[in-house]
Chains A and B, each alone.
Chain A
Amino acid sequence: NAGVTQTPKFRILKIGQSMTLQCTQDMNHNYMYWYRQDPGMGLKLIYYSVGAGITDKGEVPNGYNVSRSTTEDFPLRLELAAPSQTSVYFCASSPHYEQYFGPGTRLTVT
């Protein structure tokens, strides 16, 4: 039981490039989330999903897109990377309130 896995662990992007951050969970949780955490700050919710085919915006969705075609996977897409998107991105899943986090993806946009 691997829990929540995220790839890649690190990535450097140039301004304007696009990429997809992958997130997979093997706990059969319906709820999945994407957060960003800036240095020394708390977690900000980007997008969330309550089940396959259902996604909704969180606090800071601009510049990001998500999809949820299966229960297990919840990829986060950055279309036109900007320096303001430099952050650590965490994916989480939960059966309801108790969220379980992945190890994070550290993204730098230069």
Chain B
Amino acid sequence: GQQLNQSPQSMFIQEGEDVSMNCTSSSIFNTWLWYKQDPGEGPVLLIALYKAGELTSNGRLTAQFGITRKDSFLNISASIPSDVGIYFCAGPGEDGGSQGNLIFGKGTKLSVKP
């Protein structure tokens, strides 16, 4: 079945650094969603992308819908301690058109550099 591969699996950040992560698939997605999950909380929707090539920002976060429609990228500029958490990408499955079902990546875990 369809899978979303997120990279990197984990990374350490130092305050002020820019952060980049990506999500790839072997099949085409028509929508890309990026979520953040804080410890002990539910995932929170950060950015939604609907068109190939689309670039959308939400504060210091910028996400792009890859031209091939098989990937998406999330960048965080000038990271701050509260950026720590797990970032998930998600998109509708092949049969999710009418049910709204999403496929989720396994997440990229952001931690503060010791």
Chain A contact residues, CB within 8 Å of chain B? 4, 31, 33, 41-43, 45, 48, 50, 56, 58, 90, 92, 94, 96-104
Contacts and interface: CB of A to CB of B under 8 A. Distances in A.
Contacts of B41: 103-104
Task: Tell me if A's interface is mostly helix, strand, loop or mixed.
Answer: strand
Contacts of B45: 98-100
Interface residues of B, number: 23
Interface string B95-110: 0101111101111000
Task: Tell me if B's interface is mostly helix, strand, loop or mixed.
Answer: loop
Interface of B: 31, 33, 35, 40-45, 48, 88, 90, 92, 96, 98-102, 104-107
A104 to B, nearest CB: 5
Contact of A50 (B88, B92, B98): B98
B80 to A, nearest CB: 23
7 contacts: A43-B88, A48-B99, A90-B42, A97-B96, A99-B90, A101-B35, A103-B42
Contacts of B48: 97-98
A31 B99 contact: yes
A22 to B, nearest CB: 15
Contacts of A102: 42
